[in-house]
Amino acid sequence: MITEILLQQKTMLIVDDFEMNRDILQNIFKDEFYILQAENGIEAMKLLHEKKTDIDIVLLDLVMPEKDGFSVLKEVRAHEELSNIPIVVVSASGEIDGELLSLELGATDFIVKPIKPHIARLRVQNILARKEVDKLRIQHTMMLEQHQKERVLLNLITQSKNEYQKLAEYDQLTGIYNKTMFAQETKKMLQKNPDITYVLVRFDIEKFKVINEFLGHKEGDALLKHIASILKKYVSNLGTYGRIASDVFVACFPHSDKNVEKMIQTYADSMKLYNLNLEIILCFGLYIITDTDVPIERMIDRANLALQTIKGNYITRFAYYDEALRQILIEEQEIVNEMEDALQNGQFKMYLQPKCDLKDGKIVGAEALVRWAHPQKGIIPPGKFIPIFEKNGFVMELDQFIWEEACKLLKKWIDEGSPVLPISVNISRVNLFNPQLASIIKNLAEKYGIPPRLLELEITESAYTNNAYLLVDLIHELHENGFTVLMDDFGSGYSSLNMLKEIPVDALKIDLHFLSGSDILGRGEQILESIVNMSHAINLPTIVEGVETKDQVDFLQSIRCNRAQGFYFYRPMPIEEFEKTLHQKTTKKSNSLEN
């Protein structure tokens, strides 16, 4: 009963004077609630009085003009018809006095900024669940006076416990197992049937974010429910199944070519008939279970490893985990085992790749890159270890190491009286979620006494699609502290133009490889020229990387591109080689002036 009540759409009032905060909360709760918004306490009280019987919960900011959150709490709790509406205060971390006063005034709970969507949803669900339990308890109390009070109350508690358990075990959107329950039930099934060989299948929707962006989350959710219904129909009599992430599904059933082919074909046929104006492609990774002692999570990871080998492949739709992939896992584990010692022992080296002015080829800056100088394996390229570090979070430490190395070098140049050129450093997507990021970078610049403008910060465009609001706030904070921000890999995502409108970056970096892959002669060049023209119109410098040939340089000069970097000019090089190159260029220019 409680589950059915909770899943019925309710109404939420979001009160905050900052529109971005209201939009963030609306995006979190829009699938479960009809959302009302108010930008101050006066608007909030007006809506509460008008719709008092319709509003189920209020998310309330404390600091607002005209009428603040404390005043709203006082007025609501003093009004008999409004006093039972749960009010959740949305506050910044550490506002202890405000939290205590809010509780004294009758706040139900808190959501702490920065908001974690999963925790926020659970808090709201728990509040509404308790409210429904309280309502049911009152109804049953009237019956308890005439009947067996203890028995009815016990039944109510048991029912509530069962309903909560159901919420904890099932994916609320699709009604099938969540990740935790899938793992538990799959483990039981494997232990119960030791003589049967099972296959674990992990699959997802190719470019699901595009579907959500073009058609909206409502259509995206409908598609997820449709996929879950097919999974339930096909697998329920064979094994276990569930939804473990946004568009990620899993299933486990007895392995046979017939079972696998039937499942994949069933989905292929169904997706062709599904009524959307976009092609829906599902990709499957399969892991044949030969050792039932392997944790289910690891089995899912191995199926995912197989899945990643066919991402972007429009011919092959499924792949099995095999020994070659196992070898990749072993190599990855070796890297993980050695990464801490490598950092402590100075095996990671900062290399610099010059950036050149396209008018005269003069070196005007450099990008800091990392190489691993392994004592046995030699130089390990970043493509071997950066993706692994991004998965396990070690990239945060490596990022900060490179930032500090760049600051040390800039300080050295300043102290020596050498020519000082700006160095750009990369900020990984993982680091963007660090709330102390801007402070860390600011403190490094202050520690070494370098002007912030000399330490340029490169942020990849894909970070915008992952968390636009977070990125906007971060860049504003970096700008306030004097840093320059470059948007890396511009044009590689689906939201490039929208990104330019929303994100106040200082320059665009375009990878020349983005021109490749088109069958239409000249289209890539035309697009690049349009981007450069547009950047000139809005006063944004452009830097093209990956430049390798004289023809490419001539083309970039013809479209008035500002700067470039790539093997045509210079390869990434150790610091000493960069300084030597810069000195030679400076000396050569000086000699030519004297002559």
Asked if residues 478 and 439 have their Cβ atoms less than 8 Å apart, the reply is no
Sign of CA dihedral 235, 239, 245, 249: negative
Q: How far apart are CA 235 and CA 251, in angstroms?
A: 7
Give 185-224 as a DSSP string: HHHHHHHH-TTS-EEEEEEEETTHHHHHHHH-HHHHHHHH
73-121 tens-digit pLDDT:
999 888 888 888 999 998 875 667 777 888 888 888 888 877 888 888 8
DSSP 17: S
DSSP 170: B
Asked if residues 193 and 247 have their Cβ atoms less than 8 Å apart, the reply is no
The token duo for 400 is 């900060």
Q: How far apart are CA 558 and CA 556, in angstroms?
A: 5
Q: How do 198-205 and 109-113 pair as beta strands?
A: unpaired
Q: How far apart are CA 41 and CA 179, in angstroms?
A: 41
Q: How far apart are CA 591 and CA 5, in angstroms?
A: 83
The token duo for 332 is 């990855």
User: Three-state DSSP class for 571?
Assistant: coil
Give residue 473's pLDDT. Answer: 87
Give me the domains of the chain, ranges plus CATH numbers.
Answer: 2-153 (3.40.50.2300), 179-321 (3.30.70.270), 342-582 (3.20.20.450)
The token duo for 520 is 């239409």
Q: How far apart are CA 488 and CA 165, in angstroms?
A: 46
| pLDDT profile of the chain (595 residues), mean per 10 | 55 90 88 90 90 87 86 88 88 71 85 84 86 74 62 59 64 92 96 96 88 84 95 93 94 94 91 82 94 94 88 81 82 91 96 95 95 94 90 90 97 94 92 88 97 94 66 90 91 62 86 63 80 90 93 92 95 96 71 43
211-253 tens-digit pLDDT:
887 788 899 999 999 999 999 999 989 999 999 988 999 999 9
Instruction: Sort 427 into a burial class: Cβ within 10 Å, 0-12 / 13-18 / 19+.
Output: buried
Nearest residue to 558 via CA among 359, 270, 268: 359
Residue 295 preceded by cis peptide, ω within 30: no
The single-letter code of the amino acid at 480 is E
Give residue 593's pLDDT. Answer: 36
329-364 tens-digit pLDDT:
788 889 999 999 999 999 999 999 999 999 999 999
User: Three-state DSSP class for 455?
Assistant: strand
Nearest residue to 202 via CA among 257, 263, 262, 256: 263
Tokens 């500090």 correspond to 404
The rounded Cα 312 to chain-centroid distance in angstroms is 20
Nearest residue to 562 via CA among 362, 376, 297: 362
Q: How far apart are CA 301 and CA 303, in angstroms?
A: 5
Q: Buried b vs exposed e over 522-561: b needs ≥16 C-beta within 10 Å?
A: eebeeebbebbeebeeeebebbbbbbeeeebbebbeebeb
The single-letter code of the amino acid at 561 is C
User: Three-state DSSP class for 151?
Assistant: helix
Q: How far apart are CA 369 and CA 382, in angstroms?
A: 9
Edge to edge, what strands does the sheet with 109-113 contain? 33-38, 10-15, 57-61, 87-92, 109-113
Q: How far apart are CA 334 and CA 41, in angstroms?
A: 57
